[in-house]
């Protein structure tokens, strides 16, 4: 738990949890072609927070079955994919899909990126708070998560929202095979990127850490660049 001597840093911890969430949420939603309903974005954020609960339960259940993490990289990647990444991205996907997919406000492909990011930011915020206040190195954890983990969750969400926007496009055209394909991609691809992110970090060797930072930079550039491109295309769904 957080050292009682560091409780005076509580405002710093909270600022480090709130500021990146607020900045990313503003940046993504500010590009909306039409103003998205505030109640819906708030609901997505709150549901994202609550989605931590089934995610944690799912991860604990998986850990109870497969107690030891593999040492070999590919086996660890598979372990992390099914035991962490797929679970977390699925609960966020459910929040995003259930609230946003059939909503009347969803009229541009880019809108789904906004919905996915707000659900992910809710998840990342509560996860952040839990990590900070159960760590003996709370300040270091808060800083690293503000710089790396929260933007990473936003990137996973951009991938999810990007492909869910395509799903809606094909759903409206009654093209079932494409709809199914991109629905699967909208869950599996962010899960895979999430799994690579976590695995590189968990491998804890110098080479993996070096690759990790290159990977993080590349993913952030690609995700935010492609989000902007989708916004510029102004695709109706």
Residue 6 pLDDT grade (very low, low, confident, very high; cuts 50, 70, 90): low
For residue 33, the model assigns a pLDDT of 74
Model pTM score: 0.93
For residue 156, the model assigns a pLDDT of 98
Given a cut of 90, whether residue 1 has pLDDT beyond it is no
Across 165-171, average pLDDT: 92
**What is the spatial distance between Cα 162 and Cα 182, in angstroms, rounded to a whole number?**
10
Report percent pLDDT > 70 for the chain: 97
For residue 80, the model assigns a pLDDT of 96
Q: What rounded mean pLDDT belongs to the chain? A: 92
Given a cut of 90, whether residue 214 has pLDDT beyond it is yes
> 97-112: per-residue pLDDT in tens?
999 998 988 989 899 9
For residue 146, the model assigns a pLDDT of 95
Q: Residue 158: how many CA atoms within 13 Å on its side-chain side?
A: 25
Asked whether 164 and 97 are in contact (CB, 8 A), the reply is: yes
For residue 160, the model assigns a pLDDT of 97
Three-class SS state of 108: strand
Given a cut of 70, whether residue 2 has pLDDT beyond it is no
Across 187-203, average pLDDT: 96
Asked whether 109 and 237 are in contact (CB, 8 A), the reply is: yes
Taking CA atoms, 64 is separated from 83, 91, 171, 225, in Å, by 10, 20, 39, 39
Q: Which of 77, 41, 96, 101 is nearest to 191 (CA)?
A: 77
For residue 237, the model assigns a pLDDT of 79
Q: Which of 198, 163, 161 is nearest to 180 (CA)?
A: 163
Asked whether 9 and 140 are in contact (CB, 8 A), the reply is: no
Taking CA atoms, 171 is separated from 175, 178, 182, in Å, by 6, 8, 10
Q: Which of 141, 123, 148 is nearest to 54 (CA)?
A: 123
> 21-43: per-residue pLDDT in tens?
999 999 999 887 778 889 999 99
Across 35-59, average pLDDT: 94
Given a cut of 80, whether residue 148 has pLDDT beyond it is yes
């Amino acid at each position: 738990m957080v050292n009682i001597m560091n409780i005076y840093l509580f405002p710093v911890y909270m600022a480090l949890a709130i500021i990146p969430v607020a900045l990313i949420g503003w940046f993504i939603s500010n590009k909306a072609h039409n103003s998205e309903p505030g109640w819906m974005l708030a609901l997505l954020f709150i549901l994202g927070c609550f989605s931590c609960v089934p995610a944690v339960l799912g991860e604990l259940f998986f850990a109870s079955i497969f107690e030891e993490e593999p040492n070999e990289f590919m086996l660890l990647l598979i372990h992390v994919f099914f035991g962490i990444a797929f679970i977390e991205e699925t609960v966020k996907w459910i929040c995003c899909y259930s609230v946003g997919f059939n909503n009347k406000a969803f009229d541009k492909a880019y809108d789904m990126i906004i919905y996915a990011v707000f659900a992910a930011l809710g998840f990342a915020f509560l996860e952040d708070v839990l990590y900070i206040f159960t760590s003996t190195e709370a300040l270091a954890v808060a800083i690293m998560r503000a710089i790396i983990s929260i933007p990473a969750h936003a990137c996973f969400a951009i991938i999810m929202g990007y492909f869910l926007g395509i799903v809606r496009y094909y759903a409206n055209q009654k093209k079932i095979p494409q709809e199914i394909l991109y629905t699967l991609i909208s869950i599996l691809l962010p899960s895979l990127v999430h799994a690579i992110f976590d695995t590189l970090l968990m491998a804890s060797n110098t080479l993996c850490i070096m690759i990790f930072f290159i990977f993080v930079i590349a993913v952030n550039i690609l995700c935010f660049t492609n989000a902007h491109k989708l916004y510029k295309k102004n695709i109706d769904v």
